[in-house]
């Protein structure tokens, strides 16, 4: 079974631009979560989607948004990029969402560099 | 709110030596606990998880971890380290009613001496 795929793998943008990252979960997985990884802040939860609905959101500004499609694929968007948005963005998928945590499987990430 | 502490930022061990990576969590009830490994430029790979039951859990690549409620710890162990184990290791917790949100520790970077 194919793993979580993320596109693109690398991205360079300039301040003020916007960016869209894509995540395709493992087949049959309906929950997709996004994380930001930086050297200073470590791994931080951005949001989780299940059945096209945002179920949880981390402590990030409104410039960070996401969505999920009916085939469970997800995109996240960052508008008005800042230098501090440079990070590895990781996507994770799991079979279910809800009150009980499920095992998540991570993709290889998208490395975003903001100049 | 829950939190995770990995006290050791860097650890160096010799190949063939035993390994223990420490993880302490803060949460009022029993959390769901995970260990992930990240090789350079890669995503996170799940090593093992604890949801309930036996407090000693076995994972992939010869790793095991023990949940100790009294110490709020979930330390990762391996009896004999291989050079390919050099990577960064993350402990994470998830809690009920927070969906699949994981709270990660800061990570421990493992270096293996030949």
pLDDT (tens digit per residue) in B16-59 = 999 999 999 998 777 889 999 999 878 899 999 998 888 999 99
State the Cα–Cα distance between residues B95 and B59, nearest whole angstrom.
21
**Does A64 score more than 60 pLDDT?**
yes
Instruction: Write the residue in A31, A101, A106 that is nearest to B94 by C-beta.
Output: A101
Residues from chain A that touch B106, judged by Cβ atoms under 8 A, are 42
Q: Find the CB nearest B43 among A58, A101, A109.
A: A109
Round to whole Å and give the CA distance between A90 and A6. 8
Q: Is B114 helix (H, G, I), strand (E, B) or coil?
A: coil
| C-alpha A24, offset from chain centre | 10
DSSP classification of residue A85: G
Query: How far apart are the C-alpha atoms of B110 and B87, rounded to whole Å?
Result: 5
B40: closest chain A residue by CA: A108
Confidence check: pLDDT of B99 > 70: yes
Q: For residue B108, what pLDDT is reported?
A: 98
- pLDDT of the residue at B52: 82
């Amino acid at each position: 079974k194919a793993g979580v795929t993320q596109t693109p793998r690398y991205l360079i943008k300039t301040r003020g631009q916007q960016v869209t990252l894509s995540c395709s979960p493992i087949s049959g997985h309906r929950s997709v979560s996004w994380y930001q990884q930086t050297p200073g802040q470590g791994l931080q939860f951005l949001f989780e989607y299940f059945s096209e609905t945002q179920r949880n959101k981390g402590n990030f500004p409104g410039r960070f948004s996401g969505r999920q499609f009916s085939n469970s694929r997800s995109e996240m968007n960052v508008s008005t990029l800042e230098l501090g948005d440079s990070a590895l963005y990781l996507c994770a998928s799991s079979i279910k969402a809800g009150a009980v945590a499920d095992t998540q499987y991570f993709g290889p990430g998208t490395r975003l560099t903001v100049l | 709110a829950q939190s995770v502490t990995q006290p050791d930022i860097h650890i160096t061990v010799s190949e063939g030596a035993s390994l223990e990576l420490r993880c302490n969590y803060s949460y009022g009830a029993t959390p769901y606990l995970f260990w992930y490994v990240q090789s350079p430029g890669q995503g996170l790979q799940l090593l093992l998880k604890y949801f309930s039951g036996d407090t000693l859990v076995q994972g992939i690549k010869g790793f095991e971890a023990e949940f100790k409620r009294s110490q709020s710890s979930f330390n990762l162990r391996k009896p004999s380290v291989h050079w390919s184990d050099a990577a960064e290791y993350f402990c994470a917790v998830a809690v009920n009613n927070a969906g699949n949100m994981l709270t990660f520790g800061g990570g421990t970077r493992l270096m293996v001496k030949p």
